[in-house]
Every structure is written in structure tokens, then in C-alpha cells.
Amino acid sequence: MSSLALPRPNAHLLRLSDLMLLLVAMVWGSSYGVAKGALAFYPVLGFLALRFLITFALLLPALLRADAEQRRDALRSGLPLGALMLAIFLFETFGVALTQASSAAFLISLCVVFTPFVEWGLLGQRPARAVFGFAAVSLLGAALLSGGLFGSFGLGDGLMLGAALLRALTVCMTTKLTRHRRAPALALTAVQAGVIGLGSLGLALLSPGGLPALPTDAGFWWASLYLVLGCTVFAFFAQNWALKHSSPSRVALLTGSEPAFGALFAVLWLGESLTLTAWLGGALIVAAALWTSTRRG
């Protein structure tokens, strides 16, 4: 057995991590509609820089309170993980801009299919056969929810496929880089946010025209506050914490319910409508996540 094989998780911690990850899926699902409103006021790179630099400022005290060994571990894990997450945000954002939304949703959901294979190859642990079944159900649900892939495969589709693979790689690398280190989850999240924020700011300043003045509209700042506190601080902390008590495949499957919650948010908050097939797809995704949470490993 590989030395990186994961221990059997404590049942109570596993249930708590499952609950936190479902909450992460809910807030991430709502983030698309919220971010869409905010991006009407400010460009993508500038908004990413603002969102993550605010997050870094809020979490900096947690990093400073950590002892020397914890800060060193946070930097050792957070710098490479932050770089991966910066790439994910860039791939996803520009991928959505260059392809149909249904294709983007289908392709990003391939993360739940990629993760067991990345986990197997990177961590040397073959997931239980049931995990592959759950992944297949979740993928089928994503296909029904998004309407499937009927168009040609273009640059945007390639970027979304890359984002899905990067998501799978990131959850596995988080397990590998944090399992035996003492970095507190908030300190690790601070480092990741700093990397994403500074990376986005650097790219924004290098882009033609630079950055415009910050918006003054209250709606933009309320949306930014929600994305910072809910979709970044809480979600990153919860995922980093859960990966210490669960497996990458399980984490990917539970957060894979994100498209279903996103669809529900769009219907209830944005007034969008869904077909019966799309509702069936969403139900399959949620069912796969709940089915996964009833298992202990």
C-alpha cells in the first residue's frame, strides 16, 4: 500500500465535512448569478483581484497569529495551491466567455470523473468502485442539466476542460500538501487568496488599458461582500478543512452538486426557467451527492 494512502476518517468528522461541502456547493452555485451582476460594473481581472485581495486582508491576521512552523507550512502548501486556483479561475472565466453556458457546465462537471483517476495516479489510492458509479450518475445529471454537448469543440470548450482537470488536480494536491502539515485552514486560505489576488492584479495591470476606477454602485459592493465572505473565505476554508477528513473523490462529488444549486438559485432569484429534463439532471446530481454522504469512505 502506498505511504500516501489516506486513513479511514472519523464518522462524526466525515459527516461534518459532508455538511460543510454541501454548503460550499450551495454558495458556489449562487455565485454565478451574483458575479454576473458584479461583472456588469467591472472587468473580470480587476474584479478577481479586488475579491481575493480583500479576502487576503481579512485573513492576514490568521496567518500572522500562526507560529513560525505553521506559517512555513501555510506558505509551502498555499503558494502552489494558490497558483493552481488562479489558473482555475482564469480558465473558467475566459472559458465561459468563449463557449455556450451549457457546454461549460457539462465540461466543468467532468471534474468529478477526473478526480478518482487523478487521486489514483497522484496519491496511489484506488477509490472504491462505488465512487466511479457516483461519478457517472453525477456526470449524467450534469449532461441533462446543461443540455449536453452538441456544438463544435472550440477554444472555450478546451479551457473549461482544462479547468475541470485543474479542479481535480487541486483537490488531490491539497490532500497531498496539507495532510501531514500543521498549517491552520484559515492561514492556508490567506496564502491562496494572496496568490490569486496578486496574480489577477498583475495580469490586470499588464492588460491593455489597465484598470478603471472602482464602481460606486451599492449593488456591486454587496455582491463583492457576499462573494468574499461566502464564496471565498467560507468556501476555501471549508474545502481545505474537509480535505483533512475526507477523500478527494468524495470532496469532488459533494461539491459537484454545485450546478444543481446554481440552477435552483437562477430560478428562485433570477427568475430563469428550467425544462423538466434539466430538473431531472439537477435531481441526479444532488442524489449522487447525498448518496455519497451516506457512505463512510
Task: Give the residue carrying C-alpha cell 486556483.
Answer: 85
C-alpha distances out from residue 92 to 107, 156, 167, 198, 248, Å:
10, 9, 10, 18, 20
With 0-12 / 13-18 / 19 or more C-beta atoms within 10 angstroms meaning exposed / middle / buried, residue 296 is exposed
Q: CA 20 from chain center: how many Å? A: 13
pLDDT (0 to 100) of residue 190: 92
> Considering Cα of 210, then 212, then 213, then 216, what sign does the dihedral take?
negative
pLDDT (0 to 100) of residue 222: 93
Q: CA 116 from chain center: how many Å? A: 16
The domain in which residue 288 lies consists of 11-208+242-293
Which amino acid is located at 258 in the chain?
Answer: E
Considering only CA atoms, give the Rg of the chain.
19
- In this structure, is residue 84 part of a structural domain? yes
- In this structure, is residue 64 part of a structural domain? yes
- In this structure, is residue 67 part of a structural domain? yes
- In this structure, is residue 63 part of a structural domain? yes
- In this structure, is residue 200 part of a structural domain? yes
Mean pLDDT of all residues belonging to the chain = 80
What stretches in the chain show pLDDT beneath 50?
A: 1-7, 297
User: CA triplet 248, 78, 25: central angle to 5 degrees?
Assistant: 45
C-alpha distances out from residue 206 to 46, 128, 200, 209, Å:
11, 46, 10, 8
- In this structure, is residue 77 part of a structural domain? yes
**Count of domains forming the chain:** 1
- In this structure, is residue 233 part of a structural domain? no
Helices 44-65 and 218-226 pack at an angle, to 10 degrees, of 50
- In this structure, is residue 216 part of a structural domain? no
pLDDT (0 to 100) of residue 32: 72
Going by C-alpha positions, the residue among 252, 251, 274 that lies closest to residue 264 is 274
